[in-house]
């Protein structure tokens, strides 16, 4: 990623300051790259605790008059993210006054860790994360309901993040061209499995948002979440070896168990994994040590 030219346009500098205030209101920790020298690499590096761990995001601001000028900027960010020059960055965000044009050569679904927002879109997203001063007293009776009351915004973001991983998995599966009939059936079964998973995540997202507005019964939300938990349990039991040996499957499974833990649907799976990793085990070794009967009713 090329470093920025020395000096900042006044409009860009003011916008960076404005974004900094938005991130601070949403409880992000801020590192302003422009304060580190005359030739910064990025405008902002921000971090925030999500699902028990700190995630770091690079923010690159580009103000343009023609949206087509964003295409090269986006591709430069993709190239930089793939170079892994900075190892601890979770996502790269391109923020602009205009929307990134849809171009076939961009293949945005293939790079879920590189995202593009307009300033207005980022405002809305960060506003959802900003804590409210007066939260109403909770009425939920179940563990799942209480978790949603306490952390609805974080849970919705976690759902959206997991959906991105599922979409990426589906895109890669659909690109496969197996010839063997058994391999074709295996691919079709996997696509159906992940499509069902995505549909259940969408239902959970809607249910979570409706519960906060008292538009759905708590027991119905619990059932929706439990259905997804059962789906993840069946996927684990059926594809245990593939989940342990494939990086994308391992990452998706870890995110799913983290979501279940955040939403109050499961603690054993997430805590067992976390305990193994804290103990120094690799992800693959930690997963292989987990029993197939890992999932049980805990709500």
Query: Is 44 a member of any domain?
Result: yes
Contacts (Cβ under 8 Å, ≥6 apart) of 220: 207
Query: Is 3 a member of any domain?
Result: no
- Tell me the mean pLDDT in the region 29-51: 69
Query: Is 212 a member of any domain?
Result: yes
* pTM check: above 0.85: no
Domain of 80: which CATH number? 3.40.1350.10
Query: Is 138 a member of any domain?
Result: no
Do 55 and 150 have their domain in common?
no
Between CA 287 and CA 32 the distance in angstroms is 37
- For 203-233, how does the pLDDT look when each residue is reduced to its tens digit (9 = 90+)? 999 999 999 888 999 999 999 999 998 898 8
Between CA 113 and CA 125 the distance in angstroms is 17
- Tell me the mean pLDDT in the region 282-289: 61
Q: Which residue has the higher pLDDT, 55 or 41?
A: 55
Q: What pLDDT does 84 receive?
A: 64
Do 76 and 204 have their domain in common?
no
Do 157 and 180 have their domain in common?
yes
Do 196 and 235 have their domain in common?
yes
Query: Is 293 a member of any domain?
Result: no
Supply the mean pLDDT for the chain.
80
Which of 79-83, 174-178, 256-260, 285-289 holds the top average pLDDT? 174-178
Structural domain ending residue among the three candidates 100, 129, 158: 129
Query: Is 297 a member of any domain?
Result: no
Do 166 and 284 have their domain in common?
yes
Q: What pLDDT does 35 receive?
A: 42
Query: Is 197 a member of any domain?
Result: yes
Structural domain ending residue among the three candidates 96, 129, 162: 129
Between CA 70 and CA 228 the distance in angstroms is 38
Q: What pLDDT does 108 receive?
A: 54
Query: Is 134 a member of any domain?
Result: no
pLDDT of 127 over the 60 cut = yes
Between CA 137 and CA 195 the distance in angstroms is 37
Do 77 and 168 have their domain in common?
no
- Tell me the mean pLDDT in the region 10-36: 79
Structural domain ending residue among the three candidates 104, 129, 154: 129
Do 186 and 220 have their domain in common?
yes
Between CA 193 and CA 172 the distance in angstroms is 14
Do 163 and 192 have their domain in common?
yes
278 pLDDT band, cuts 50/70/90, is very low
Tokens encoding 59: 């923010």
Do 118 and 157 have their domain in common?
no
Min mean pLDDT across 8-17, 34-43, 112-121 is at 34-43
pLDDT of 42 over the 90 cut = no
Domain extent, residue 27, equals 10-129
Do 31 and 75 have their domain in common?
yes
Do 39 and 176 have their domain in common?
no
280 pLDDT band, cuts 50/70/90, is very low
pLDDT of 114 over the 70 cut = yes
**Number of domain units in the chain:** 2
């Amino acid at each position: 990623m090329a470093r920025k030219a020395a000096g900042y346009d006044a409009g860009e500098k003011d916008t960076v300051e404005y974004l900094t205030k938005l991130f601070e209101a949403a409880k992000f920790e801020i590192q302003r790259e422009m304060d580190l020298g005359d030739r910064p690499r990025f405008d902002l590096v921000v971090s925030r605790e999500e699902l028990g761990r700190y995630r770091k995001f690079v923010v690159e601001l580009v103000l343009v008059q023609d949206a087509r000028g964003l295409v090269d900027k986006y591709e430069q960010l993709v190239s930089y993210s793939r170079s892994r020059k900075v190892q601890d960055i979770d996502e790269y965000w391109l923020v602009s006054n205009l929307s990134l044009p849809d171009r076939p050569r961009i293949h945005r679904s293939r790079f879920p860790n590189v995202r593009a927002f307009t300033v207005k879109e980022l405002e809305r997203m960060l506003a959802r994360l900003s804590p409210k001063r007066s939260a109403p007293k909770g009425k939920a009776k179940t563990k799942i309901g209480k978790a949603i009351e306490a952390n609805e915004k974080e849970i919705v973001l976690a759902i959206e993040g997991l959906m991105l991983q599922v979409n990426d998995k589906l895109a890669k599966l659909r690109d496969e061209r197996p010839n063997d009939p058994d391999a074709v059936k295996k691919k079709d079964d996997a696509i159906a499995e992940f499509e069902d998973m995505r549909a259940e995540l969408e239902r959970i997202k809607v249910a979570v948002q409706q519960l906060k507005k008292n538009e759905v019964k708590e027991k119905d939300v619990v059932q929706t979440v439990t259905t997804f938990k059962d789906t993840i349990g069946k996927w684990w039991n059926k594809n245990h070896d593939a989940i342990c040996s494939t990086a994308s499957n391992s990452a998706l499974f870890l995110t799913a168990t983290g979501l279940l833990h955040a939403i109050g649907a499961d603690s054993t799976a997430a805590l067992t994994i976390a305990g193994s990793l804290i103990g120094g085990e690799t992800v693959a070794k930690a997963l292989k040590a987990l029993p197939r009967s890992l999932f049980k009713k805990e709500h």
